[in-house]
Structures are given as C-alpha cells and as structure tokens.
C-alpha cells in the first residue's frame, strides 16, 4: 500500500472525506466541468503567449497541472481543444460586450 492510499483510507476512516463512490452525480459533473474549463484556459494562455505552433497537448497538460490522460478523457483530440478554446474566448468577449452595453447611458456610449 502506498502512502497516498494509506492517507486516503485514513481520511475516509475518520470521516474527513467521502469515498469516491459516494460522490453524487452532480458533484462529479461539477468537478468535470471545472477540469474542462481549466484545460481550456490553459490552452488559451499558451495560445496567447506562444501562438498556435506552441500549443501542444503536452504543454496544455503541464500548464494546467494535469496528466495527458485527463486531457484525452475530456477531449478526443487537439482540434476539439482548439474549438472549445475559441468558444471560450467568444463567450468571454460577449460577456464583456454585454457588461459594457448595460453600463452605457445612451445607445451611442
């Protein structure tokens, strides 16, 4: 038994944390959504800093602090990561536009 498994078992025993199987579907979905967004944000940062040539799956995983397996669990290939990154950037831009439109006093501001 590794030390990590022992620590996890001890935490479960003393009630510090729940076993993985007892997490609800809603909790798992929320964690998965958070991980997806973290990977997309990491890809976005790399793209802004290094361009398309610098955007590799290995660098995305390193930037997000996750393993290659997690990336392939959430995205089938690099093209899907790029597509989601563009959707994310578009959403951020549209949110900023909506905020500025709501602040405008007239339609010409």
pLDDT in tens, 23-68: 676 676 788 888 999 999 999 999 999 999 999 999 999 999 999 9
Q: What is the pLDDT of residue 38?
A: 93
Locate tokens 């996750």: which residue?
A: 66
Contact present, 35 and 74 (Cβ < 8 Å): yes
Separation of alpha carbons 84 and 4, rounded Å: 34
DSSP one-letter string for 50-106: HTTTT--HHHHHHHHT--HHHHHHH-SSHHHHHHHHHHHHHHHHHHHHHHHHHH-SS
pLDDT in tens, 69-90: 999 999 999 999 999 999 988 9
CATH superfamily label, 24-103: Tetracycline Repressor, domain 2 (1.10.357.10)
């Amino acid at each position: 038994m590794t030390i990590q498994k022992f620590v996890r078992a001890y935490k479960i025993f003393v009630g510090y944390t729940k076993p993985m199987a007892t997490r609800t579907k809603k909790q798992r979905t929320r964690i998965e959504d958070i991980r997806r967004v973290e990977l997309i944000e990491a890809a976005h940062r790399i793209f802004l800093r290094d361009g398309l040539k610098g955007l590799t799956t290995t660098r995305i995983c390193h930037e997000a602090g996750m393993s290659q397996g997690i990336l392939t669990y959430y995205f089938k290939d690099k093209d899907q990561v790029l597509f989601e990154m563009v959707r994310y950037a578009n959403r951020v831009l549209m949110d900023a536009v909506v905020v500025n439109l709501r602040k405008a006093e007239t339609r010409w501001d």
